[in-house]
Structure 1
Amino acid sequence: MDLKGSVAVVTGGSGGLGRHLVAQLLERGAAKVYVATRKAEGADMAGTTALKLDVTDPASSAAAAKVAADTTLLINNAGVNTHASLVDGDFGDIRREMEIAYFGSLNVTRAFAPVIEANGGGAILNVCSQLSWVHFTGAGAYSGAKAAEWALTNATRFELAPRGVQVAGLYMGYMDTPLFADAPEKLKSDSATVAARALDGIAAGADEIFGDDFTGWVKEIMGESPDAFAHSIQGRSARVLQS
């Protein structure tokens, strides 16, 4: 997809990775970028427009799609990390993770896919995670929600391709954003670099985009048994922390 002249909607675009995506879209020549948040805030850069959108509410998604009827690129970036475990974590937190990552991305995709198609086609990028594939103690709720979003991304890719809508997933490890504030600093990627890789991937028509080299390596070893897979990830992370 040619990003120059595109009209993008970025959910959760007021901070973190979303803000980098907004800024870099403008740098690459996007005609307009909608910064989509629940309170319609954060559109403080020239070329941006605030868009009120609660990803968990289908009616809000549908209303936003009517306002942003010129959209050609949708980035499902809104997310939350409650750190809830699946066995004894708060069930409300577990449900909230799924509502935002899976049902939220689905709500917005269903609302905007017809808009993008009507505008001659374009793309949808779902900001997933390395934890779509890697599942550790303490990240059960987040991993489950991101695994569901990975499946959503793959399934909608096949459904929307005949309609001229490219669907891609962005996968990365920890970043230097508030969502991962508690993660070890040595394991964090630069979120501006992740955003650049994401947009490079969209421009190239990639299905899966790796925001960092570590995530590419993780995908390569996914054929190992679950235990061996987890131990490989933990071992490499330990070596990074010790370096």
Structure 2
Amino acid sequence: MEIEGSVVLVTGANRGIGRALVGEFLARGAARVHAAARNPASLAAVVAEDPARVVPVAVDLSAPDTITAAAEAAPDVTLLVNNAGSHGMGHLLDMDLALVEEVMRTNFLGTLRVLRAFVPVIERNGGGAVVNVISIGAFGATPALGGYPASKAALHSMTQAVRQDLAPRGIGVHAVFPGPVDTDMLDYVIGHEPAFGDFPRATSAEVARATLDGLAADAEDIFPDSFAVGVGELWRSDPKGVERRLSGIS
């Protein structure tokens, strides 16, 4: 995928990996970046990075109307980055089931809605790419993370499925599997499960750079930090080893 001159939409762009991705796309010559978040007011600092090229957009993965409106407001997109998601801590057998359902609806169904809304846009613009930011949790569940790993495993499977559907339409599909990243989400996790603080954290900027390097190289599966690289290597040779490694965190 040629990044220079592309028109990008990044969900969850107001902080963390999403905000870093916006900056990296700008640095690599994207013509325009539609920065999406539930509350467009939270994007003020992101827009300020380059007001001529960054356009704020309202997208709430739990509100389908906002997704439809975003596709209408951004008809020039050639590269979609599905980064937004939600999280909830707890063990599946006893945590609030409503929280599990919310995470699944947001991370899987919400992302699928965005994809379905923007695929026709990308196709009309001559093709391009979709990048789904998933998680190494897609390969093995940590008990204390509730429905989050399951939602990411579902997103991984969806990514594989639509890759086959979109290839004939000129749209490449890329999966990104970060490990622990120094974000508000990880701080939330550590607050509930201190053991996660023992792992080295990548920065959002490092993950963004590695993601775009992988995209530029046309890599289908991108492991954007050292912890993720290690998990990816183990997953290829010993999937049960990954399960044991990740399930033993808590």
1:45 is the counterpart of 2:49: yes
List structure 1 runs of 4+ shifted beyond 4 angstroms: 232-235
Residues 57 and 107 of structure 1 are in contact (CA less than 8 Å); yes or no, is this contact kept in structure 2? no
Distance (whole Å) between structure 1 residues aligned to residue 73 and residue 142 of structure 2: 40
Residues 180 and 199 of structure 2 are in contact (CA less than 8 Å); yes or no, is this contact kept in structure 1? no
1:157 to 157, 163, 167: 163
| Counterpart mapping for 1:85-234 below 5 A | 85-181=91-187, 182=190, 183-184=196-197, 186-222=199-235, 223-224=237-238, 226=240, 228-232=241-245
Residues 84 and 93 of structure 1 are in contact (CA less than 8 Å); yes or no, is this contact kept in structure 2? no
Distance (whole Å) between structure 2 residues aligned to residue 159 and residue 192 of structure 1: 31
Distance 1:150 1:234, change over 3 A: closer
Residues 62 and 111 of structure 1 are in contact (CA less than 8 Å); yes or no, is this contact kept in structure 2? yes
Residues 142 and 246 of structure 2 are in contact (CA less than 8 Å); yes or no, is this contact kept in structure 1? no
SS at match of 2:174: strand
Residues 60 and 67 of structure 2 are in contact (CA less than 8 Å); yes or no, is this contact kept in structure 1? yes
Distance 1:89 1:185, change over 3 A: same
After TM superposition, the score normalised by the length of structure 2 is 0.89
Unpaired runs of 5+ residues, structure 2, are 191-195
Deviates more, 1:85-94 or 1:171-180: 85-94
Aligned AA (1:224): D
Aligned AA (2:111): S
Q: CA deviation at 1:234?
A: 7.4
CA deviations 1:48-70 (Å, max 9, x no partner) are 11111112233221111011000
Unpaired runs of 5+ residues, structure 1, are 238-243
Residues 9 and 73 of structure 1 are in contact (CA less than 8 Å); yes or no, is this contact kept in structure 2? yes
CA deviations 1:67-119 (Å, max 9, x no partner) are 10000011001012211321111111111111111011100000000100110
CA deviations 1:104-150 (Å, max 9, x no partner) are 11000000001001101111101100000121210131101110010
Distance (whole Å) between structure 2 residues aligned to residue 229 and residue 27 of structure 1: 35
Deviates more, 1:103-112 or 1:176-185: 176-185
1:31 corresponds in structure 2 to: 31
Residues 88 and 146 of structure 2 are in contact (CA less than 8 Å); yes or no, is this contact kept in structure 1? no
Residues 40 and 58 of structure 2 are in contact (CA less than 8 Å); yes or no, is this contact kept in structure 1? yes
Distance (whole Å) between structure 1 residues aligned to residue 199 and residue 223 of structure 2: 18
Aligned sequence identity (%)? 38
Distance 1:229 1:21, change over 3 A: closer
Instruction: Give the root-mean-square deviation of aligned CA atoms.
Output: 1.9
After TM superposition, the score normalised by the length of structure 1 is 0.91
Residues 102 and 149 of structure 1 are in contact (CA less than 8 Å); yes or no, is this contact kept in structure 2? yes
Distance (whole Å) between structure 2 residues aligned to residue 225 and residue 219 of structure 1: 9
